[in-house]
A and B are shown apart, each in its own frame.
Chain A
Amino acid sequence: MPRRLLRDGRIVLDEWSYLAEAEGNAAAPLILTLAEWQTERDTWIARGGRLGVVLAAAHSVGVLVPDLEHFALIGAEFSGPSEGRGYSQSRQLREHWKFTGELRATGFVRRDQVFFMARSGFNSFELPDTEIEAAAAALSTFSAAYQPSNDAGLPFKLRRRSLGTPASA
């Protein structure tokens, strides 16, 4: 059965496959681990089709920077309920490296974290299937915020306090 996930505030079927899931479907959009990407980089590029890669929490975003153009999806894996590096990886990708593709939270993702993840720049969430409806609802846990952020994954606009002006303004 195809995987359900939360993307841009809606519950959708995942058209992406991880390498282990992709056998027999050569055209499917493919998500690689960083190691899979790095060991056969040229093969993957030659293959064509959409590519994604998942970073572990300990990976620096910098390792992907020269290759960003090849990815339509970047995942960040959360190892457990206390993992927090993905929030910074996400903001770096969105704000500094201007990544506009799908940014996916994977691993330990629950309703209690998705609001913060969405505000850090993630727009899609892989969760246990039983948790998806609750997670979709949890995106509107708060209707306001103090900080400007990406809010890429939120389906609505937050009310905001101006602590200052974004530097680019």
Chain B
Amino acid sequence: MYRYDAVDKTLVTERVAQFRDQTRRFLAGELSEDEFRHLRLRNGLYIQRHAPMLRVAVPYGLLSSRQLRTLGGIARRYDRGYGHFTTRQNIQFNWPKLEKVPDILAELAEVEMHAIQTSGNCIRNTTSDHLAGVTPDELQDPRPWCELIRQWSTFHPEFTYLPRKFKIAVTGAAQDRAASLVHDVGVHIVRGPDGTLGFEILAGGGLGRTPIIGQVVREFLPREHLLSYLEAILRVYNLEGRRDNLTKARIKILVRSLGIEEFRRRVEAEWENTRAAGLRVTDEEIERLRGFFDPPAYRTLPDTDPAAGKSTAFRAWYRYNTTAHKVPGYRAVFVSLKKPDVAPGDITDTQMELVADLADRYSFGEVRVTHTQNLLLADVEQDKAYELWRALDEAGLATPNIGTLTDMICCPGLDFCSLANAGSIDVAKLINERFDDYDYVYDLGELELKMSGCMNACGHHHVGHIGILGVDKGGQEWYQITIGGAAGADASLGQVIGPSVAKNEVAETLARLLDVYIENRQPEERFLDAVRRLGVKPFKDRVYATSAAA
């Protein structure tokens, strides 16, 4: 993975000093709430329902065991013993004290981490495929490009005060595991007409109040122009994006109001300028970065079947919580953070330390955060899977549900977030209680359930095969349900099935939706495909047939 050099170290250290001074000025009354808000947000610090929330960047989801151990220590010493992994591959701490945040940042800087630009109206952490570099369906490992974008976007002088936040996702595989079509900019590594690798560039995707699927701005961009092209997009957005209305300030609204043709014309015109004045990425530089992501020292091993002759529990885990690796004899292993009685994405201090130890023992000392709020040990020898499973299982990290109904994405909701209308964690719990029969859950096959506590859509509900959105109805928590959304290469937005339902009816409503699926599915047909084939009506009819929903 990427290692800091003197420039990186200098920047994060100087940032800690800057933020320490800004915090001091605020506490001393020299900075107003509003002025400090703009500054602290650019450093990942929200003031939340109970306490500040600090979001720490995990660049494109990659962590060393040492970094994860440090996060565990921070959770124990500055928080209440846990952290929460997010859909954008970052980690959040929900209970730090404001005056201690500079000390936390100083500890993070020691292990080459920071909270720079994890919130605020600036370029956020660049996200990517959690299977980058190990998946068989990959054209090229996207992480060197992610690191290039990370550096370019960090303290970018022109783009630190944008109309609104700006999120970039980069993928290099056939399957899109980074939800790039619902990002402000999606960067896809593709092969151009002349056979060289370059990029397809999309813009204007996003979730939130107005969900929109991104559109292609440029079908093929030669790779040396990546940064100058991103600068052109950002400049058009910075100058022309709306600043008068927070809910209309994302680039998706600009792209929609101009139309993709006119937006493209403006970007291409500005690109003439940024290309002439700006950066041309050299092969030398990208190869230097690529060197940080060289494959680890894999052993020469045959493929085996470690599940053969083992217990049912292990076989289920191996089937659902591990996935194909391009190197024979290896497997990528998910660490499930979706235990039924734990909030999705939450992990304790000791679990973090354990996963760090297991990464050292089984996966070359590296851990990845997935956008579905699990962790991944990417390079595990198949023959070691059984002992790894035993260690994970003992720690409550082997719930065999990856890719199934109960592998829910879920925002922190009303319990922690000051924006939320409704709780999401307790609904997750109710769903887990209702669907505790693994045979039933496995029979449902691949199913993505995504839940947000408000229309900001941190839980990506629009692109869940089933989406759940918390709404406020006269001071009560209700839930609007959508079906048919998807986040991958075939991204689509879910359709609302009808009036929202009360909290205690959510699980029953899901059961009815799933009944319709089970009764009507064709062989091998996923829930998502059944919805696409059948339309919303049969599902809607069943849910509201005798329901008390209002």
Interface residues, chain A, with chain B CB atoms under 8 Å away: 57, 60, 81-85, 87-89, 91-92, 95-96, 110, 112-113, 115-120, 141-149, 159-168
Contact = CB atoms under 8 A, between A and B. Distances in A.
Contacts of A87: 157-161, 238
Contacts of B243: 57, 82-83, 85
B279 interface: yes
A142 to B, nearest CB: 5
Contacts of B10: 142-144, 159
B215 to A, nearest CB: 23
A91 to B, nearest CB: 5
Contacts of B22: 112
A119 B285 contact: no
Nearest to B37: A81
B7 A166 contact: no
A77 to B, nearest CB: 14
Given A96-B273, A165-B282, A144 B11 contact: yes
Contact of A85 (B148, B238, B277): B238
A60 B32 CA distance: 31
B276 A142 contact: no
A96 B277 contact: yes
A61 to B, nearest CB: 9
7 closest A-B pairs by CB: A84-B161, A119-B157, A95-B277, A164-B281, A164-B279, A146-B151, A116-B157
A82 B246 CA distance: 11
Contacts of B279: 147-148, 163-167
22 contacts: A60-B239, A81-B38, A84-B160, A84-B238, A85-B238, A87-B157, A88-B235, A95-B273, A96-B273, A96-B277, A112-B35, A116-B157, A117-B157, A142-B11, A144-B6, A147-B157, A161-B5, A163-B227, A165-B282, A166-B278, A166-B279, A167-B278
B437 interface: no
B357 interface: no
Given A164-B279, A164-B281, A92 B14 contact: no
Contacts of A88: 158, 235, 238-239
A60 B240 CA distance: 10
A117 B273 CA distance: 20
Given A141-B18, A161-B7, A166 B152 contact: no
B275 interface: yes
Nearest to A87: B158
Contacts of A110: 35
B39 interface: yes
A149 B227 contact: no
A96 B271 CA distance: 11
Contact of A166 (B35, B38, B238, B277): B277
B369 to A, nearest CB: 23
B285 A163 contact: yes
Interface string B275-311: 1111111100100000000000000000000000000
Contacts of B273: 92, 95-96
B225 to A, nearest CB: 9
A116 B155 contact: yes
B155 A145 contact: yes
A8 B274 CA distance: 25
Interface centre among B7, B22, B148 (most CB of A within 10 A): B7
B163 interface: yes
A98 to B, nearest CB: 10
A76 to B, nearest CB: 12
Interface size class of B (residues with CB under 8 A): 35 or more
B229 to A, nearest CB: 12
B276 A112 contact: no
Nearest to A91: B158
B482 interface: no
Contacts of A115: 157
Interface string B497-515: 0000000000000000000
B161 A83 contact: yes
Nearest to B34: A81
A110 B281 CA distance: 34
A81 B7 CA distance: 28
Contacts of B148: 163
Interface string B1-27: 000011100110011001000100000
A91 B239 CA distance: 12
Contacts of A166: 277-280
Given A95-B277, A163-B285, A166-B278, A144 B227 contact: no
Nearest to A97: B273
Given A149-B158, A163-B285, 16 more contacts: A81-B35, A88-B235, A88-B238, A92-B235, A92-B273, A116-B161, A117-B157, A119-B157, A142-B155, A144-B10, A159-B6, A161-B5, A163-B151, A164-B227, A167-B275, A168-B276
Interface string B192-230: 000000000000000000000000000000001001100
B179 to A, nearest CB: 26
A144 B160 CA distance: 16
Contacts of A161: 5, 7, 151
A75 B228 CA distance: 26
B18 A160 contact: no
Contacts of B276: 95-96, 167-168
B157 A146 contact: no
Nearest to B122: A84
B384 interface: no
Interface string B155-169: 111111111000000
Contacts of B121: 82, 84
A29 B57 CA distance: 48
Contacts of B456: none
